[in-house]
Amino acid sequence: MELIGRGREADVYAVDGDRVLRRFRNGGPAEDAEDEARLLRWLAAQGYPVPVVHDVAGTDLVMERLHGPTMSEALRSRPWRAPAYGALLGRLHQELHGLPDPGWLPGLPGGDGGDARVLHLDLHPENVIITDRGPRVIDWSTCRVGRPEVDVAMTFVILRGIVLRPHERLLIRGFLRAMARTCGTDRRPGMPVATERRLEDPHLTEAEAALVRRLGRPYA
């Protein structure tokens, strides 16, 4: 099989023109793949744009092969469309946060009760594929239920916590302003939880961690 994608923990192989295999490099419990397959099927049944699950076996997950650039790739090739892509990501947040708690996802602290909604917690341009049938959201391993403002804040912290050149910072700021207009949620109450979670990421560089800590200050 051809290796077509490589994440921090898993590799993606082309099975054929219509299917891919997602496989963790260091193994892991079979329940992880089974839980993600269950979640993806549930999301699809709610009408949320995710890849179709074909099969799950042990830690291997066979899914629909999505053809198209990531939103990050689309931004790099067409930076003038940053406001449009930001607005699209905001709508994906709003649509996701309109879904009810399915009752079996783990929760975030403080996310119980009537405010609990499905949260991706890693919803940024690398995890959105722009296909000819619309966007598809991938990589749901961090999914929890909780308060929507934490999800929106996580996107903000991830994108503002990257070391960028000046023109790239301007692009991301415009992208995030557009996202804020369409996501339907004020990120500010979620910033403390989002910054704390982001700082727990062992892959952060020292420079990135410093940016994230700065974002955790009030009114960042």
At 205 the pLDDT is 94
- Residue range 2-64 forms a domain whose CATH class is alpha beta
Percent of the chain with pLDDT over 90: 75
Strand pairing class (128-131; 144-146): unpaired
Strand pairing class (60-64; 2-6): unpaired
User: pLDDT grade, residue 27 (50/70/90)?
Assistant: low
CA 176 to chain centre: 15
User: pLDDT grade, residue 218 (50/70/90)?
Assistant: low
What pLDDT digit, counting tens, does each position of 103-146 carry? Answer: 999 998 754 445 789 999 999 999 999 999 999 999 998 999 99
Tell me if 123 sits within 8 A of 141, measured CB to CB.
no
Q: Hey, where are the domains in the chain? A: 2-64, 71-215
User: pLDDT grade, residue 19 (50/70/90)?
Assistant: very high
39-52 average pLDDT score: 97
Please state which CATH number belongs to domain 71-215. Answer: 3.90.1200.10
Taking the CB of residue 184, how many other CB atoms lie within 10 A of it? 15
153-158 average pLDDT score: 97
User: pLDDT grade, residue 5 (50/70/90)?
Assistant: confident
Q: Exposed, middle or buried, 175 (CB in 10 Å: 0-12/13-18/19+)? A: buried
What pLDDT digit, counting tens, does each position of 171-200 carry? Answer: 999 999 999 999 999 999 999 999 999 999
SS3 content of the chain, % helix, strand, coil (to 5): 45, 20, 35
Q: What is the pTM of this model?
A: 0.92
